[in-house]
Structure 1
Amino acid sequence: MQALQLTKYGSSDHVAFAELPRPRPGPGELLVQVHAVGLNPIDNLIPRGDFKPIIKLRLPATLGSDLAGVVVEVGSAVTRFQAGDAVYASIFDTPHGSLAEFAVASEQAAALKPANLDFVQAASIPMVGLTAWQAMHERMQLQPGQKVFIPAGSGGIGTFAIQLAKHLGARVGTTTSTANVALVRGLGADEVIDYTQQPFEQVLRDYDAVLGTLRGDGLEKAMRIVKPGSRVVSLIGPPDLAFARARGMHVVLKLVFGLLSRKIIGLARRRGASYAFHFVRPDGGQLAQIAALVEAGSIRPVIDQVFPFLEAKQALACLAQGSARGKVVVRMTVP
């Protein structure tokens, strides 16, 4: 089978297609014929080496985290799936990658594909869906009537998170460019700031939660809009000591992450808020709940571009530009 592999950290020159044997599933695993792969920003950050201290890959490694496809083989201990099932999954932070004709997924990471979506649409959901679900349910404990700030509302995570927050009964503030104001309003955003016209921190006030999605000083600026008791959850860092402890990291990395997060934690405390770094984890049970929301029409996928598998490197380059409206997806050629 063909797979897109990373052979060495550094530039995109070290990402290339390779011919590999078809993998075999372990006792608790599924072998999935991949029909589509949703791309995420971290799929570009990993090859650069940005996550080497956190994610331990054995190179060469197949890239990609999200997938939708059909189960072709199940391990001996699998009880919830059978060959022929249409599934979707995130296999992020596992030894496996999804940018391949066949991929292995843990039974616990997979869920039946939403019945009203095709494979391309389904593949766009797992990481952004799980990230938003875990951040809002577990970290923020977002309640009806609360206000949550989700910057970059037209991006992959933003388009999903806005819809989930509205389903939970929250009011949503977001930022976007002029061209995407109508899109984010259509997804349910209540306060929309056109960042080309005015700084959000001069307009928004008294927010109960912030979802940190942008690198740079955006997170520090977001501290100006929160009220006492608010929760700030960042997806882009800085990683904190609690994260390092949860990952069982070496004492040196615990010290480093503690120092890196000291400034932002201090800013949060001065506002009476809390700060946490969130690293998404695969969870098929949560994907099943997300599928129910999609099937009920509460959430819809937003897709910017679809690339054929042999243009997967171009798809990653497109995503790296940072201007996608929703998700970038790779479609496999399936007989």
Structure 2
Amino acid sequence: MRAFVKVESGVNGIEPAEVAVPRIDDDELLVRVKAVGVGIHDSYFLPGDAKYPFPIGIEAAGVVEQVGSDVSGHRPGDRVAFVSSMQPKGGTWAEYAAVKAGSLIVPVPAGLDFVEAAAVPVAGNTVLRAVKALEAVPTGGSLFIAGGSGAIGTLAIQVARTRGWRVGASASERNHDHMLSLGAEAVVDYHDPTWPEQIRRWMPGGADAAMAVQPHTSADSLSVVRDGGKLITISGDVVAPERNVRVEMVPHDTDVRGELTQLMTEIAQNEKRVEIERVYPFEEAQAALAKVQTRHARGKLVLRLD
């Protein structure tokens, strides 16, 4: 099968290759990949026991081809979107992927094509887990999102508005109108060193909570949260709490499969939008990876397989 692989450990870059279709175990599915969500971690989020050449990637959508004898709830022909990370048999940048039945797998609803479906699992899962950690924010409360124009930020704006929260967000100026169209009411340019002051003018006393999506934004985001509020550091920044503001990472053990399935349905019904900046043919996977690594994509980049 066609795949994009890391040739050996410690070597940067990926290359096209022909590799064997993975054989599934009793607790796995074999999925024929139709579209791949491109992520900044795809080329280095690899299992320690990876065998090279190793197909990269963690997110995709496609059709179930085979199911292991111990698998229930899935059958050949099912349309699914999934996250398959740290799988020694290889990732999603390939024509077929072996997926553990216990992985994050959700049905693709009617009306949602594979390209849109492949753009949702990682970003949607992250947003829904972060929102779950902010359940104490009341209806009418406020959320600031540092990095509102990417795949996570654009979904976070919409999910927060569904919760009845007022949303402020940062991004480059060219994306401001877009964020406003998604439901943000205060938008700031992160290039402007006065953006924290602008957010505090929007929400005197500070926002109830913040999500720091982009790296190196947590400290400034903390400064716009009210005393006793909460900051979720999606970026993984480490920042010391102050003023009784709780600082937490995304709770990765939270199960949001039901909410993610509902989000996919809402996208299929045009109640929410999945933002896709560009769809690349599979042959141009290297260009897509280079683009996402700039951290300047608006929404998601997706690879389409024939």
Give the 3 Å change call, closer, same or farther, for CA 40–226 of structure 1 in structure 2: same
Distance in 2 separating the partners of 1:167 and 1:66: 25
For the 8 Å contact 2:128–2:256, the answer to whether it is kept is no
Letter in 2 for 1:23: P
How large is the Cα RMSD of the aligned pairs? Answer: 2.2
Residue 225 (structure 2) aligns with: 226
Letter in 2 for 1:70: V
Give the 3 Å change call, closer, same or farther, for CA 287–272 of structure 1 in structure 2: same
5+ residue gaps, structure 1, are 239-260
Shift of the alpha carbon at 1:283? 6.2
Distance in 2 separating the partners of 1:164 and 1:300: 10
Residue 284 (structure 2) aligns with: 311
In the TM superposition, 1:148-167 aligns within 5 A as: 148-167=143-162
Question: Does the alignment pair 1:102 with 2:96?
Answer: yes
Return structure 1 stretches of 4+ with deviation > 6 angstroms: none
Residue 5 (structure 2) aligns with: 5
Letter in 1 for 2:220: K
Question: Does the alignment pair 1:272 with 2:265?
Answer: no
Deviation string for 1:215-239 (max 9, x for gaps)?
23x211111111122111112223x
Secondary structure class of the residue paired with 1:227: strand
Letter in 1 for 2:95: E
Shift of the alpha carbon at 1:272? 1.1
Normalised to the residue count of structure 1, the TM-score between the two structures is 0.82
Letter in 2 for 1:104: A
Counterpart among 20, 41, 50 of residue 58 in structure 1 = 50
Distance in 2 separating the partners of 1:40 and 1:57: 21
Residue 83 (structure 1) aligns with: 76
Deviation string for 1:145-181 (max 9, x for gaps)?
2211112211111111111111121111101222211
Distance in 1 separating the partners of 2:160 and 2:4: 34
Counterpart among 231, 247, 263 of residue 290 in structure 1 = 263
Shift of the alpha carbon at 1:85? 1.1
Give the 3 Å change call, closer, same or farther, for CA 120–295 of structure 1 in structure 2: closer
Counterpart among 55, 79, 85 of residue 92 in structure 1 = 85
What's the % identity of the aligned pairs? 33
Letter in 1 for 2:247: Y
Distance in 2 separating the partners of 1:298 and 1:86: 21
For the 8 Å contact 1:155–1:326, the answer to whether it is kept is yes
Letter in 1 for 2:173: T
Letter in 2 for 1:169: G
Deviation string for 1:225-268 (max 9, x for gaps)?
11122111112223xxxxxxxxxxxxxxxxxxxxxx4xx12xx2
Q: Return 88-97 or 299-308, whichever deviates more.
A: 88-97
Q: Return 318-327 or 117-126, whichever deviates more.
A: 318-327
